[in-house]
Amino acid sequence: MKVVMTGAAGFLGQKLIARILADPQLPSPQGPRAVTQLCLFDVVEPPIPAVSSAKSPAISTQVGDITRADDLTQLLGEQADVIVHLAAVVSSAAEADLDLGLRVNLDGTRTLLEVCRGLAQPPMVVFASSVAVYGGALPAVVTDNTALTPQSSYGAQKVMGEQLINDFSRRGLIDGRVLRLPTIAVRPGRPNAAASSFASSIIREPLQGETAVLPVPETLALNLLSPRAVIANMVHALGIPAADFGASRSVMLPGCCVAVSDMLAALERAGGPAARERVHAQPDAGIEAIVGGWPARFDTAKANALGFSADRDIDAIIAAFIEEDRIDAC
């Protein structure tokens, strides 16, 4: 089975690559299949994690532009069985630069799908969408059928990508699976341009002996999912028969609804009072406007029925970070 991944240099891409290299057997609607080719694509050279198994697939990497059809034609070749589309400009960056967000998040997705039309067989395409597709006046509990009224350019671009995936799937050009991701925490590495970056930094930095800035009120609630759970759900999505998704290929993944104050309390349980004291409030109206418009409470009946899963609680999310990604403070 040939698996192609865009955005492979990003943290989710790196974790998914490590998962595939550790166990190249992946689910499919027809049963488990071995990954024989893993093709990695990004705007920078995608690193290859130092993980291997007895049956590691052949790996190739390509640096290119997601909006260039020639680059994607070279990447996909004549056939790809699974395409995991992670390439994106994140929320605050897409808000700050409309043209950049449109070019990568919308034009890049459309270009990828157009190239898929030329393949010998329709590929399975897993598209990473976002909770940012929701916004505006929302019910107390959001469902998969709640109207999509995003209040950011990033959210709007993800909605457009979702609609393309759904239409290409309806036409039989691809077999799409759209996973709406909650806020992902705790991300490894350093803070990035995502508006939700603070949700990771207020845990990550204090547990590594560094200070962190909190730009939103402690009363703000977030819907969280750990990187570990995101990867498990992405892998799970590969085995679901297309018909089980129903009329829409989009599904909101389940997460934990957690107030920032509860995150800070869990931080103190994991790292002691000293870790909690490393978080300093520094209000940022721009970040609060973006993240505060995202819903925190969901009825994920569709995801639950399809077998997707969430972390147990915020303590489990922090424990996963400590186990997999924490860099011990000097």
Tokens at residue 130, please? 């976002």
pLDDT at 314 exceeding the cut of 60 = yes
Q: What's the pLDDT tens digit per position in 131-162? A: 999 999 999 999 988 999 999 999 999 999 99
Q: Is the pLDDT of residue 330 over 60?
A: no
Q: What is the pLDDT of residues 49-64, one digit of tens each?
A: 876 666 789 999 999 9
d(CA 176, CA 179): 10
Superfamily of domain 2-182+225-252: NAD(P)-binding Rossmann-like Domain (3.40.50.720)
pTM of this prediction?
Answer: 0.94
Reply yes or no on whether 134 is catalytic.
no
pLDDT more than 70, % of the chain: 98
- What pLDDT sits at residue 191? 78
Pairing type for strands 25-26 and 33-34 reads antiparallel
Q: What is the pLDDT of residue 179?
A: 98
Q: What is the pLDDT of residues 216-271, one digit of tens each?
A: 999 999 999 999 999 999 999 999 999 999 999 999 999 999 999 999 999 999 99
Residue 265 CB partners (closer than 8 Å, separation 6+): none
What is the spatial order of strands in the sheet that 175-181 belongs to?
58-63, 37-42, 2-6, 82-85, 124-130, 175-181, 250-252
* Dihedral (CA of 64, 21, 88, 199) sign: negative
Distance of alpha carbon 10 from alpha carbon 81, whole angstroms: 22
The mean pLDDT value of the chain amounts to 94
Residue 205 and residue 267: Cα distance in Å, rounded? Answer: 11
Q: 250: left (phi > 0), else alpha (psi -120 to 50), else beta? A: beta
* Catalytic one of 154, 168, 245, 321: 154
What is residue 56's predicted lDDT score, i.e. its pLDDT?
85
The stretches of the chain forming alpha helices (DSSP H) are 11-22, 69-76, 91-96, 98-101, 108-116, 153-170, 198-207, 227-237, 260-277, 285-291, 301-305, 314-324
Domain boundaries, the chain: 2-182+225-252, 195-223+256-296+311-324
DSSP state of 148: -
| Torsion on CA atoms 242, 245, 248, 251, rounded to nearest 10 | -120
Q: What is the largest CA-CA distance in the chain?
A: 59
Dump the DSSP string for 81-130: SEEEE-----HHHHHH-HHHHIIIIIIHHHHHHHHHTTSSSPPEEEEEEE
Question: Could you read off the pLDDT of 83-133 as tens digits, one per residue?
Answer: 999 999 988 899 999 999 999 999 999 999 999 999 999 999 999 999 999
284 near 95, Cβ under 8 Å? Answer: no
Q: Which residues, 6 or more positions from 142, have their beta carbon under 8 angstroms from its beta carbon? A: 134, 252, 295, 297, 298, 299
What does the alpha-carbon distance between residue 185 and residue 304 come to, in Å, rounded to a whole number?
21
Average pLDDT over residues 26-46: 97
Q: Alpha-carbon torsion 194, 198, 200, 201, what sign?
A: positive
Q: What is the pLDDT of residue 50?
A: 79
Among 3.40.50.1470, 3.40.50.300, 3.90.25.10, 3.40.50.2020, what is the CATH number of 195-223+256-296+311-324? 3.90.25.10
Element counts in the chain: helices (H) and strands (E): 12, 14
157-203: pLDDT as tens digits: 999 999 999 999 999 999 999 999 999 999 998 877 778 899 999 99
Asked if pLDDT for residue 304 goes beyond 70, the answer is yes
Q: Which pLDDT score is estimated for 290?
A: 87
